[in-house]
Amino acid sequence: MDLNFAPATTELVEKTRAFVREVVLPVEERHHGVAPDGEDWRRELQDAAKAHGVFGPHLPAEYGGHGLGMVERAPVFEEAGYSLFGPIAVNCAAPDEGNQHLLDRVATPEQRKAYLDPLARGEVRSAFAMTEPAPGAGSDPRALATTATRVEAGWRIDGLKRFITGADGAAFSIVMARTSGEPGARGGATMFLVDADNPGMILERHVPTMDKSMAGGHCEVRFENCVVSEDAVLGELDRGFEYAQVRLGPARMTHCMRWLGAARHAHELALGRAVDREAFGERLSNLGLTQQLIADSEIDLAASRALILRACWELDHGESAGDSTAIAKTFVSEAVGRIVDRAVQVHGGLGVSEDLPLARIYREVRPFRIYDGPSEVHRWALAKRAARRARDGFAR
């Protein structure tokens, strides 16, 4: 495993670092980390990213991107994540980045032209609609309750989705619906491409959440007599859960990369505070308790990067990476929370104020322990697989 990045990647890291600090952070400050309404701000940032040569680090050259693999993306996405608006500026934000990967792997040529091309170029945004209110799909996707029924025109989708990131303003959604079996069945899910102007896809409301930086918010979307053509089926019937894994493993790692950038931003603020602030006759950086906070964050940053790279190396080499992505997602989602929390503590009262970006970074990273699978679910899956391997070993 070569830990040296290609010279072109190193150059892109530096260009992304400068772009985020000089162009993106002022926009984040102006809006206090809350995604503005509409699309103008996104388009302006993405036009600036194209002008600076940092747009689409993961995208093929045909879309103006750099074509980086998973390992090479890690340091670039981390730099983009240094600002809460950085990922959307370079077009590697969730859910679009994960949808780009899925469409690239599964879509037909006609679907690529209609959906992937404009999404990759930054002309539109998208959504991924799987999560449902209980007892529907959530941590357990097999509980999928939304149905797709054959009709003369193609398929009719009916169901309620919740926490659908970016749904408000998305040009289309990739919708998971059950085409066979009952909720709880291991198979029977199919993905559909649904355009925003379909009258059967109804945006009910924005779900108020603690994080505010995602374009289009987190929405509740109702599908009611939502009729789509046969051409709207993404991939093959009843293989939706399989395709979800194509998307989720890499998407979990790119989430880790982006949020690690936000955590590093917080840590650098804490370092600046520790070396400048004096209390009890000493700089904070000379006090043992502060040193422990700083050292623990340095350890969390280093360990997070190592786990991300290991999982990405496996993905780049065509391995399933089920364990490594679960381990990395669980550790990093908790590590970034610890890092930001320590940074707040080092700053004292200033850390919980809106005078610094720490409070908004804190509110953004906390949900990551739930998004893309709660830590408890990943631990449960890891333990099951480890026990199965042990049993198989004992049986031999």
Task: Supply φ then ψ for residue 263, to 5 degrees.
Answer: -65, -40
Q: Which residue has the tokens 């969390």?
A: 300
Task: Supply φ then ψ for residue 332, to 5 degrees.
Answer: -65, -40
b (16+ CB within 10 A) / e for 351-370: beeeebbbbbbbbbbbbbbe
Task: Tell me: cis bond preceding 135? Omega within 30 of 0 counts.
Answer: yes
201 half-sphere exposure, CB direction, 13 A CA radius: 24
d(C-alpha 275, C-alpha 294), whole Å: 11
- The answer for residues whose C-beta is within 8 angstroms of residue 384's C-beta and 6 or more apart is none
Cα 46 to Cα 92, 94, 173, 357, distances in angstroms? 11, 15, 21, 22
Tell me, what's the pLDDT at 248? 87
d(C-alpha 112, C-alpha 109), whole Å: 5
Q: How many other C-beta atoms can be found within 10 angstroms of the C-beta atom of residue 90?
A: 33
Q: Please report the domains of the chain, with CATH numbers, ordered by start residue.
A: 7-120 (1.10.540.10), 126-238 (2.40.110.10), 242-395 (1.20.140.10)
Tell me, what's the pLDDT at 219? 98
Per residue of the chain (396 residues), give pLDDT as tens: 778 999 999 999 999 999 999 999 999 999 999 999 999 999 999 999 999 999 999 999 999 999 999 999 999 999 999 999 999 999 999 999 999 999 999 999 999 999 999 999 999 999 999 999 999 999 999 999 999 999 999 999 999 999 999 999 999 999 999 999 999 998 999 999 999 999 999 999 999 999 999 999 999 999 999 999 999 999 999 999 999 988 889 999 999 999 999 999 999 999 999 999 999 999 999 999 999 999 999 999 999 999 999 999 999 999 989 999 999 999 999 999 999 999 999 999 999 999 999 999 999 999 999 998 999 999 999 999 999 999 988 664
Q: For residue 349, with 0-12 CB atoms within 10 Å meaning exposed, 13-18 middle and 19 or more buried, which class applies?
A: exposed
Token couple for 396: 């031999």
Tell me, what's the pLDDT at 395? 60
Task: Supply φ then ψ for residue 169, to 5 degrees.
Answer: 100, -5
